[in-house]
Amino acid sequence: VALIVQKFGGTSVADVGRIRHVARRVVATVQQGHRVAVVVSAMAGETDALVALAKDAGGERPDPREYDVLVATGEQKTIALLAMAIHRLGHKARSFTGAQMGMRTDASHTRARIQHIDRARIEAVLDAGAVAVLAGFQGIDDAGDVTTLGRGGSDTSAVAIAAALEADVCEIYTDVNGVYTTDPNMVPAARKLARISFEEMLEMASLGAKVLQIRSVKLAQQYGVSLHVRSTFEEGEGTWVTREEDVMEHLVVSGVTYQRNEAKIRVAGVKDQPGISARLFTPLSDAGIVVDMIVQNASQDGSTDITFTVPRTDHKRALEMAARVGREIGAQSAEGDEKIAKVSIVGLGMKDHAGVASKMFRTLADEGINIQMISTSEIKISVVIEEKYTELAVRALHTAFVENGAAEPKAE
């Protein structure tokens, strides 16, 4: 007998027909003899509709306490409907809101952090042979007020519940059947990964974020909760996201990712002396702008260039700041470029393989793609290129590293 937490997202419970389908899947697991706790999101589109209502009534920034009271109702509907659908199949089920299950959070409305879960309450239901049907996304603070965890927070609820119950697995049911080596819409040869480590999943954020809230992956890593991402609508295994030790075969490259949501800023001709970078980046961080890659050239004649990337939505603001500070520190110019993309390769096997970076650069060069910036971590290499080459770069790298992976350089 295993203890299984199953999480179903909004598209999986989009209407009553789908809720009844989910009920059949849950019951099938119960009939295999397992103990099952189910975590559900609101019906697809429901949270968006509630947020729109909140703005309609309360303006652009509605009161956060009341906002949480409102948006938490989306999940309250689905838990009741799913419990009813399970009853109709002749099985026991009880629904619980965040407050009822003792999902304690801090008091930061709209982005609350989980502090504690009353595991006894859920266990009593399972001990009675019933399915516990639990609302994702919501909790209760010490004052007894309803809180929510932030958009996409049901994944995090499910992982936290799996950790508290010491569940054998946290199954994430969604509308795709797993995590792919790259975006299948861009590269038809993309294939589903059987297993991937937490670390790789976090580095593959731009792929993973569509499937799993990144915060939930961090929580799963912290508590060692194995995740199984799989389809609600198809049978068969999906992708396991697990500890590095449990990934048998360390692929050199397990994923090729891309992001087109950054912009580049270059501050040219700045003096190469202590304190310049601090002056440049302090105003940005004070403004809450997250800088991703930073490259400083080797200096010539005591002057250098600093280039960095920021989210595209912050580009205008960041460029204005860089231009202002640039003038103060005597830089020649500050210029921005929004037409860039970041393309990355990710894989645990990079740790002990030589020549991965050079192969990546060679592959891009063969396609005539110029590399503007490079950054690396232990298991990831990212480059910034001109945006119009994104697809070409992703396809070429996927062919070189994933499809023709057998031709990898040997470990030293």
Among 4, 5, 10, 105, indicate the residue that binds ligand ASP (CB under 6 A): 10
CA distance to 151, 163, 219, 370, per residue, from 223 (Å) = 22, 6, 6, 42
CB of 16 to ligand ASP, least distance (A): 17
Is 9 a residue that touches Mg ion (CB under 5 A)?
yes
Give per-residue burial for 115-149: e unless 16+ CB within 10 Å, then b. Answer: eebeeeebbebbeeebbbbbbbbbbbbeeebbbbb
* 21 versus 215: smaller Cβ distance to ligand ASP: 215
Is 74 a residue that touches ligand ASP (CB under 6 A)?
yes
Among 139, 152, 178, 347, indicate the residue that binds ligand ASP (CB under 6 A): 152
Is 349 a residue that touches ligand ASP (CB under 6 A)?
no
Stretch that binds ligand ASP, among 101-109, 147-155, 161-169, 246-254 (CB under 6 A): 147-155
Is 72 a residue that touches ligand ASP (CB under 6 A)?
no
Backbone angles phi, psi at 188, to 5 degrees: -60, -25
Q: Write out the two tokens for 197.
A: 């480590």
Any idea what DSSP says for residue 178?
Answer: S
Is 74 a residue that touches Mg ion (CB under 5 A)?
no
Distance CA 342, CA 329 (A): 29
Is 47 a residue that touches ligand ASP (CB under 6 A)?
yes
Partner touching 304 among ligand ASP, Mg ion, none, CB below 5 to 8 Å by kind: none
CB of 41 to ligand ASP, least distance (A): 3
Any idea what DSSP says for residue 290?
Answer: P
CB of 10 to ligand ASP, least distance (A): 5
Distance CA 403, CA 230 (A): 23
Partner touching 221 among ligand ASP, Mg ion, none, CB below 5 to 8 Å by kind: none
Q: Write out the two tokens for 372.
A: 């503007």
Complete DSSP assignment for 220-247: HHHHT--EEEEESSS-S--EEEE-GGG-
Complete DSSP assignment for 291-330: P--EEEPPPBTTEEEEEEEEEGGGHHHHHHHHHHHHHHTT
Q: How far is CA 405 from the centre of its chain?
A: 26
Is 139 a residue that touches ligand ASP (CB under 6 A)?
no
* 10 versus 208: smaller Cβ distance to ligand ASP: 10
* 214 versus 357: smaller Cβ distance to ligand ASP: 214
User: Measured over all CA atoms, what is the biggest interatomic distance in the chain, rounded to whole angstroms?
Assistant: 81
CB of 47 to ligand ASP, least distance (A): 3
Distance CA 407, CA 130 (A): 52
In the region spanning residues 136 to 195, those forming contacts with Mg ion, defined by CB under 5 A, are 152
Stretch that binds ligand ASP, among 16-24, 112-120, 145-153, 299-307 (CB under 6 A): 145-153
CB count in 10 Å sphere of residue 169: 18
* 41 versus 206: smaller Cβ distance to ligand ASP: 41
Q: Mask: binding to ligand ASP, 27-46, rule CB under 6 A, as x and -?
A: --------------xx----
Distance CA 196, CA 179 (A): 9
Is 154 a residue that touches ligand ASP (CB under 6 A)?
yes
Mapped onto helix, strand or coil, the DSSP state of residue 12 is helix
Is 137 a residue that touches ligand ASP (CB under 6 A)?
yes
CB of 34 to Mg ion, least distance (A): 24
* 137 versus 401: smaller Cβ distance to ligand ASP: 137
**What kind and span of H or E run contains 216?**
helix 214-223
Among 136, 255, 326, 347, indicate the residue that binds ligand ASP (CB under 6 A): 136
Is 208 a residue that touches ligand ASP (CB under 6 A)?
no
Give the binding site for Mg ion (CB under 5 A): 9, 152
Give the binding site for ligand ASP (CB under 6 A): 9-10, 41-42, 47, 74, 136-137, 151-155
